[in-house]
Amino acid sequence: MVKTYLSYINGKWVKSSSGKTFGKINPATGQVIFHCQAGNGKDVNAAVEAAKAAFGKWKSFPPPEKGEILFMAAHILEKRKEELAVLLTKENGKNLEEARGEVQEAIDITKYVAGEGRRLLGETTTSELPDKFAMFVREPRGVVGVITPWNFPIAIPAWKIPAALVCGNTLVFKPSSDAPACGIELVRLLNEAGIPPGVLNLVTGSGAAVGEPLAKHKGIDHISFTGSTDVGTHLYVEGAKKLNSVELEMGGKNPQIVLKDADIDLAVDGALWGAFGTSGQRCTATSRIIVEKHVAKRFTEKFLKRVRRIKVGNGLGKGAVMGPIINAGQMTKILGYIDKGRKEGAKLLVGGHRLKDAEHKKGFFIAPTVFTGVTPGMTIAREEIFGPVVCIMEARDFEDAVRIANSVEYGLSWSIYTKDINKAMKAMRLAESGIVYINAPTIGAEVHLPFGGVKGTGNGGREAGTEAIKEFTGIKTVFIDYSGRLQRAQIDVD
């Protein structure tokens, strides 16, 4: 029998008030693997009200004790790592090795922010007046709405939810309908670890039926969103209408520069992982390889030789390096970009089609695709494709490569391969990007460092690292005057 998951509201697993469910398809097999609740605005309202009612008590709960609950959650994650990795591969499609890595990322970030329970730091400073103490402290934002995508269905929720919890917020969580089960299981184990009823609530369903009422709800104090730039921009506008804070992590069009002095074999390794890891379905995926013309032919030949050896298949199968696209709609969108690339004059070197043989015909598989002859004005060089498609672009020199790399509306991850320390240091400064890698691919963020971008990628905030705490807290400034008399700042100063 196919399992049916429930939503989680006020400490109870419940059916949606809509009375409806939706099926989730394994993108590698085309089979329905489970059903989830088709939530609606009524469910969202019940979840928000539960979070509001739980906020006061959870806010006053000592942060170190919150941290202990999160350490327990990390321990449960460790025990269930293989089980969750298999579930992740079934619902998302990435191969089992990547799935294990993603669960490990969830373990790592949960442990990291658990430690922040003893380190929710404010600042103390001097006052301009005598016998007066000045400081600021961090406080939770309130009821937080968390909306996450399907490409990292347990890691991204784990970036957001434990950090929000340790800061004292209560939550309403909407996972992607394309990969909800890992998020549901994360909520289940957090509940098992000791999160009180009402503090963490989960409603599954579509963006229109659940995400929209969540964003518009007057009881929501902060939205944390990872997903497309179009949806993120819309959520930002809705938050502005209520003067709410909204944290956005959105798209990317990430470049890997390869200079003539680079270790070409290392650059090929990085480009393969960056472009085709998770089938290119990462906001940090390498979608443009900008190669200095002196080494363009050599790099391209080595790269294509490796690309042609990539095994595409079910992530649970033996030797599969690249899995399927998440769903039929996304597959059609990617194939549309490939067709547009051809029409605009780019040269297709390999791939460019759906795999339809006996092994692949029931799933949503696209062959690893490489274009050359791509210029900065082409659609495939400017827009986020979010699939296994990469453009090789030639640059005259270092300065031209930087210009091309910075020519898009996004600014998430930026990579350069060079042995010239002077150019590496200049690249760090010139990159219009939130993340810069030297001699490493555009993917591979670590949980104790801030993650996020500039331009069309985000609105200034960062996730992970110490910045994770800043996202989910506000600042309260406190003055303590023990002089025993009225003192007026800026006036009673000689």
Kindly list the catalytic residues. 249, 283
- CB 418, CB 430: distance < 8 Å: no
Tell me the longest C-alpha to C-alpha distance in the chain.
86
DSSP 307-363: HTT--BS-TTSTT--B---S-HHHHHHHHHHHHHHHHTTPEEEE--SB--STTTTTS
The number of C-alpha atoms within 13 Å of 267 and in the hemisphere containing its C-beta is 30
Which of these, 399, 445, 450, lies nearest to 426 by C-alpha position?
399
- CB 391, CB 346: distance < 8 Å: yes
Angstrom CA distances, 442 to 253, 271, 284, 320, 452, stand at 10, 8, 6, 22, 13
- Beta-carbon contacts of residue 460 (< 8 Å; ≥ 6 apart): none
Region at 198 (left for phi over 0; alpha for psi -120 to 50; beta for the rest): left
Strands (DSSP E) found in 108-169: 123-125, 132-140, 143-147
Distance CA 478, CA 50 (A): 30
- Tell me the chain's radius of gyration from C-alpha atoms: 24
Structure token pair of residue 316: 């649970």
Structure token pair of residue 80: 């269930």
| Nearest-10 Cα torsion for 361, 334, 173, 215 | -140
- CB 233, CB 246: distance < 8 Å: no
Beta bridge partner(s), residue 223: 145, 246
**Torsions phi, psi for 383 (to 5 deg):** -100, 150
Question: Which residue carries 């009673």 as its tokens?
Answer: 492
The number of C-alpha atoms within 13 Å of 251 and in the hemisphere containing its C-beta is 18
- Beta-carbon contacts of residue 318 (< 8 Å; ≥ 6 apart): none
Structure token pair of residue 343: 């029409």
